[in-house]
Structure 1
Amino acid sequence: MTDFAPWAWALLGVAAVIAGLGKTAVPGASTVSVVILASILPARTSTAAMLLLFIVGDAFALIAYRRHAHWPTLLRLAPAVIAGLLAGFAFLALGDDDIVRRTIGVILLVMIAITLWRRRRSSEPASGLLPAAGYGTLAGFTTMVANAGGPVMSMYFLATRTPVQVFLGTAAWFFAIVNLMKVPMLAGLGLITPEVLLMDLILAPLVVVGALTGMRVAKRMPQQLFDRLVIVLTIAGAVYLLF
């Protein structure tokens, strides 16, 4: 696995930088990293490799935004997310991920349409257990199967009109906890191999570079620009999952 052509290593390096940037500045950007790894590595292997790189980014996201998290939101999401994780684990163990990825892509596009429609029709943010249950379950499932929970959670935070810093802080704790929960699951499926660990060790410093850059960018980003970037990157992630 580590005997890649130079162009492949260059793309992997870009993916690592973007993974860090997505953790500390623009949620949804990490979907680009998922696309790159999935184009170079086997699908299931890319899921494990990307997870370990994301965990490096999670550490820096927590350093930057840990105090801005909204814990009631995390607690409200927790039961649905756990259910989604278990469903995704069962699917990875038994099923073919191509069909499910396309299904996730369709669901994401529908969610984007509903979120944008609701934001235009109502000035009130989404609230209550029903949105948390729907978004939470899908987030757990998509992050387990394809490391694609970011776009789902981005849509949830946009629907609830979460400010930038609270968005980033709550997302930082959410993915730090969820990604650590996924490690023993993927290890149990035999996807975390010595080759994957070696490759991620080589790429980890670039995740740090991206995360530190993102921490500087986020401080200067207006809410409107932030929301638009999240929507555009979520649509890109959904299209990737479809095709």
Structure 2
Amino acid sequence: MISDPYFYLIAFPAVLLTGISKGGFGGALGVVGVPLMALVISPMQAAAIMLPVLCAMDFFGMRAYLGKWDVANLKIIVPGALIGIVLGTVTFGAFSENVIRMAVGVITVAFVLDNLLKDSRKDARAGRSRLRGTFWSGVSGFTSFLAHSGGPPIMVYLMPQRLDKVVFVGTVNAFFLLTNAFKVVAYAGLGQLSTGNLATSLLLAPAVPLGVWLGLHLQRKVDQVWFYRIAQGGLLLTGLLLIVQGLGR
């Protein structure tokens, strides 16, 4: 178990911010936990510590969004995520985490900038697509497994649909509840869930319900337009953070 107080000075705010993002804005900034913790511990250990924390966030988020998800989308994206996780498990250790972060960061920034530069009408919405949904959820499962960076790819697929904000967050939460459950099995099989890491995750657990509650509270304060503006802003910051993280090591 980690006993360094400097780790917890960074880890608690990181978990709190992740909870706010996942609880209220579909995880637009949910990727920050591992990079922040990686300032004081190894990225692999940070990822192993964050996985049980993310599962706890999914549980609390699911209680708030129970039944408020898009079933048709989930039928498309959950199988795609499983394919990505299997691919990540088979290729574990073959790809640099920083290469994955860089790739996801570039895709994310390009997606947000493309949306900002488009002269599209406000009422223009993308529909569901089995091809696009399977592709982006597969990318999400793969990058989530290797670097806990699965949020941006799945948002690339879901955000253009302009779902109701509650349905959007509920769908993302349900997706990651199942995705992270699959990851737990894979991580355990690869020996990544040590008792020391699990004990550290347990110490961080009190920040989970507080973060999710704050996210829910903030989401209720903004309307649909501002929700997507905030989500896109968070997504852009996430992409930039991933690029910096990829270049930094």
| TM-score w.r.t. length of structure 2 | 0.89
1:213-232 alpha-carbon deviations (Å, 9 max, x no partner): 22222222211221112111
Query: Does the C-alpha gap of structure 1 residues 148 and 112 become closer, same or farther in structure 2, counting only changes over 3 Å?
Result: same
The residue type equivalent to 1:109 in the other structure is V
Q: Secondary structure at the match of 1:46?
A: helix
Contact 1:101 1:241 in 2 (8 A): yes
Residues 58-73 of structure 1: matches in 2 within 5 Å? 58-73=58-73
Structure 1 gaps, min length 5: none
**CA shift for structure 1 position 111:** 2.8
The residue type equivalent to 1:46 in the other structure is A
Residues 1-243 of structure 1: matches in 2 within 5 Å? 1-4=1-4, 6-26=5-25, 27-116=27-116, 120=120, 123-243=124-244
The residue type equivalent to 2:195 in the other structure is P
Query: Does the C-alpha gap of structure 1 residues 130 and 192 become closer, same or farther in structure 2, counting only changes over 3 Å?
Result: same
**CA shift for structure 1 position 177:** 0.7
**CA shift for structure 1 position 114:** 4.1
Contact 1:37 1:50 in 2 (8 A): no
The residue type equivalent to 1:76 in the other structure is I
Contact 2:16 2:208 in 1 (8 A): yes
Partners of 1:113 and 1:20 in 2: how far apart? 26
Q: Which contiguous aligned blocks of 4+ residues in structure 1 show a shift greater than 3 angstroms?
A: 113-119
Partners of 1:21 and 1:119 in 2: how far apart? 31
Contact 1:115 1:155 in 2 (8 A): no
The residue type equivalent to 1:168 in the other structure is V
**CA shift for structure 1 position 167:** 0.5
**CA shift for structure 1 position 117:** 5.2
**CA shift for structure 1 position 147:** 0.9
Deviates more, 1:206-215 or 1:66-75: 206-215
Contact 2:78 2:179 in 1 (8 A): no
Contact 2:58 2:173 in 1 (8 A): yes
Deviates more, 1:74-83 or 1:159-168: 74-83
1:40-63 alpha-carbon deviations (Å, 9 max, x no partner): 221111111111111111111101
Q: Secondary structure at the match of 1:162?
A: coil
Partners of 1:52 and 1:133 in 2: how far apart? 26
Q: How many residues align?
A: 242
**CA shift for structure 1 position 72:** 0.7
Partners of 1:120 and 1:138 in 2: how far apart? 26
Structure 2 gaps, min length 5: 245-249
Structure showing the higher helix proportion among its residues: 1
Q: Secondary structure at the match of 1:152?
A: helix
Contact 1:93 1:189 in 2 (8 A): no
The residue type equivalent to 2:81 in the other structure is V
1:107-127 alpha-carbon deviations (Å, 9 max, x no partner): 222333444456726813243
The residue type equivalent to 2:133 in the other structure is A
The residue type equivalent to 2:200 in the other structure is M
Contact 2:81 2:139 in 1 (8 A): yes
| TM-score w.r.t. length of structure 1 | 0.91
Partners of 2:217 and 2:38 in 1: how far apart? 29
